[in-house]
Amino acid sequence: MSSLFPALTDGPADRPALRFGERSLTYRELAAAAGAVAGGLKEVRRVAVWATPTMETAVAVTAALLAGQAVVPLNPKSGAKELGHILSDSAPDLVLATPGEQLPAPLAALPRLDVDPSAGAAAPGSLPDDRARDPEDPALIVYTSGTTGPPKGAVIPRRAIAHTLDALADAWQWTSEDVLVHGLPLFHVHGLVLGTLGPLRRGGSVRHLGRFTTEGVARELNDGATMLFGVPTMYHRVAEALPAAPDLAAALAGARLLVSGSAALPVHDHERIGAATGRRVVERYGMTETLMNTSVRADGEARPGTVGVPLPGVELRLVDEDGSPVTSYDGETVGEIQVRGPNLFTEYLNRPDATAHAFTPDGWFRTGDMAVRDADGYVRIVGRKATDLIKSGGYKIGAGEIENALLEHPGVREAAVTGEPDDDLGERIVAWVVPADPLSPPALDELADHVAGRLAPHKRPRVLHHLEALPRNDMGKIMKRALARG
């Protein structure tokens, strides 16, 4: 296999690679910094990265991948329970972090290696040659929520990263000339694989906003950036800001490509952005386990409400409830999306049961997403098989993990969690709680803090209903649809 990042050794060394705020690195500087970090990674098999949205994270991940280690990116806002689970499940040999950054207790037991992006210049390291690495070697272990239980670690091989990024280059005409801007978190596939490793594999550059703001987007697109990646919540905020922000409208109008993914971008937001800027937003569809499956192509028609066509090398089919493939391209017949191809993960770490369940016997991955196909093959996602998965702000969140966390609060006797439509977040998390003491039921803030502290802030409930009892069927199962209907 070729190197994951050929531009680090073969491209113009003075070209900008990474920029975070005021700090930037050229390819030469990145090679030196990554070489210095990689020097500290000998005899190591798997590393955790405290994945703050910083230069240190980008350098750490690049170094570890070149050195052939598997990277476990950690959400720096992880609560104690979630962090404990990820660390005991993935058992990293050490943690890479920014110098001076205080790490929480569960990480104290691990050896730590500080990442200094400027160290390379002072003490040049030698960049490891990753060309001889087995393409099937694990590159990333990314934790992703299921309907029940704690998140599972999706093992993503080097082959899948290379494949998905090259397929996107084909679909988007993505080249070394492109300058990407985004404010995505670096502990998920969207911000890390597409948003950071993507530009580096192309030999182009990324400017990370640190945190997403529409002002930051406008500034960078008006100052040479060519592409914007975001989740629908970010595009919704762009759409909201546009009427009062002519500089933002000009910025989007001048961009080469605007890409949305991680959840459905409502047609209303597509239309508002289109009307204010004359530009279309391109949607692509992916998943932690599959990386990218489909996209509207840069030279194709951006049809709001669709996620385009399968990427090169990706086989995609719809399957009905009996497991038979849906053959009609009529825009109406719904089936579950199943995919096969070099973009897929290898397994869920330590979970052979879940891995086996996720695939059909002939190797198709069951996405759980429901879709139809238009006559020309465009895929339209119409829903999800599991009601217990919530997408909020582009984050996938399992109802079960929040219910378990709520049940650990002394004020909660019973709990159920649902998602309800939200203009900004797509869905917001709603908690339905039977209080232990009906005379002093726990307040929303208290339960939100409890969940944020144990799991992560984006998993906290935003709405709370107190109930005397949860509606259950004859089997004792909570009837969530009845809850949501109120």
Instruction: List residues near ligand AMP by CB under 6 A.
Output: 144, 189, 261-264, 283, 285-288, 307, 367, 369, 381, 384, 391, 396
For ligand MCA, the binding residue among 5, 143, 172, 212 (CB under 6 A) is 212
Q: Is residue 419 within the footprint of ligand MCA (CB under 6 A)? A: no
Give the residue with the Cβ less far from ligand MCA, 146 or 393: 393
Q: Which one of ligand AMP, ligand MCA, none is in contact with 231 (Cβ closer than 5 to 8 A by kind)?
A: ligand MCA
Binding string, residues 249-288; x marks residues near ligand MCA by CB under 6 A: ------------xx-----------------------xxx
Applying CB under 6 A, among 64, 86, 221, 234 the residue interacting with ligand MCA is: 234
Among residues 426 and 442, whose Cβ is nearest to ligand AMP? 426
Number of H helices, E strands in the chain: 16, 25
- Pick one of ligand MCA, ligand AMP, none as the site partner of residue 264 (Cβ within 5 to 8 A by kind): ligand AMP
Distance, CA of 436 to chain centre: 36
Outline where 316-374 has alpha helix (H): 352-358
Binds 37, which of ligand MCA, ligand AMP, none (CB < 5 to 8 A, cut-off by type)? none
Angle between helices 214-221 and 246-254 (to 10 degrees): 50
By C-beta, is 204 or 398 nearer to ligand AMP? Answer: 398
Question: DSSP label at 441?
Answer: P
Build a one-symbol-per-residue string for 162-201: x at contacts with ligand MCA by CB under 6 A, - elsewhere: ----------------------xx--xxxx----------
Closest separation in Å from C-beta 397 to ligand AMP? 9
Q: Tell me the residue nearest to ligand MCA as measured from the CB.
A: 393
User: How open is the CA angle 220-222-227, to the nearest 5 degrees?
Assistant: 60
Minimal distance, residue 291 CB to ligand MCA, in Å: 7
Residue length of the chain: 486
- Residue 77 binds ligand MCA, judged by CB under 6 A: yes
Question: Among 7-15, 23-31, 49-57, 388-396, which window interacts with ligand MCA (CB under 6 A)?
Answer: 388-396
What tokens were used for 483? 């809850």
Cβ of residue 188: shortest distance to ligand AMP, in angstroms? Answer: 6
Task: Please choose which of ligand AMP, ligand MCA, none residue 314 contacts, taking the beta carbon within 5 to 8 angstroms, the exact cut-off set by kind.
Answer: none
CB of 454 to ligand AMP, least distance (A): 20
Q: CA-to-CA distance for 66 and 38, rounded, in angstroms?
A: 8
From the number of C-beta atoms within 10 Å of its C-beta (0-12, 13-18, 19+), residue 109 rates as: exposed
Structure tokens at 44: 């190591």
Tokens describing residue 393 = 């702000």
Q: Considering only residues 150, 199, 393, 426, which one is a binding residue for ligand MCA as defined by CB under 6 A? A: 393
The partner in contact with residue 191, picked from ligand MCA, ligand AMP, none with C-beta cut-offs of 5 to 8 angstroms by kind, is: ligand MCA
Question: Could you give the residue ranges of the DSSP H alpha helices within 315-430?
Answer: 352-358, 399-407
Nearer to ligand AMP, 19 or 351 (CB): 351
| CA 482/CA 361 separation, integer angstroms | 35
**Does position 395 bind ligand MCA by CB under 6 A?**
yes
Compute the distance between CA of residue 143 and CA of residue 90 in angstroms, rounded to an integer: 10
**Residue reference for tokens 């280059």:** 169
Q: Which two tokens stand for residue 127?
A: 């960049």
Task: Please tell me the distance from the alpha carbon of residue 26 to that of residue 204, in angstroms, as a whole number.
Answer: 10
Write down the residue that tokens 């279309």 correspond to.
280
Identity of the residue, 107 or 448, whose beta carbon is nearer to ligand MCA in the bound complex: 448
Cβ distance to ligand MCA smaller for residue 305 or 471: 305
Sign of CA dihedral 70, 292, 384, 368: negative
Q: Kindly tell me which of 77 and 280 has the beta carbon lying closer to ligand MCA.
A: 77
In whole angstroms, the minimum distance from the beta carbon of 451 to ligand MCA comes to 8
Number of neighbours of residue 325 by Cβ within 10 angstroms: 11
Which residue lies nearer to ligand MCA by CB, 185 or 216?
Answer: 185
Q: Cα separation of 4 and 380, whole Å?
A: 32
Shortest separation between residue 377's beta carbon and ligand MCA, angstroms = 20
* Rounded-to-integer distance, Cα 196 and Cα 150, Å: 27
Q: Which is nearer to ligand AMP, 92 or 393 (CB)?
A: 393
Which of these ranges, 20-28, 327-335, 354-362, 444-452, lies near ligand MCA under the rule CB under 6 A? 444-452
Q: Are 429 and 447 in contact (CB under 8 A)?
A: no
Distance between CA 164 and CA 161 in Å, rounded?
5
Q: Which amino acid is at 381?
A: I
37 sits in which H/E element? helix 27-39
- DSSP run (H or E) holding 316: strand 315-319
Quick one: CA dihedral 269, 271, 273, 279, positive or negative?
A: positive
Task: Choose the contact partner of 212 out of ligand AMP, ligand MCA, none; CB within 5 to 8 A by kind.
Answer: ligand MCA
* 147: amino acid identity, one letter: T
**Contact status: 76 vs ligand MCA (CB under 6 A):** no
Nearer to ligand MCA, 343 or 418 (CB): 343
- Contact residues toward ligand MCA (CB under 6 A) are 77, 184-185, 188-191, 212, 231, 233-234, 261-262, 286-288, 393-395, 448-449, 452, 457-458, 460
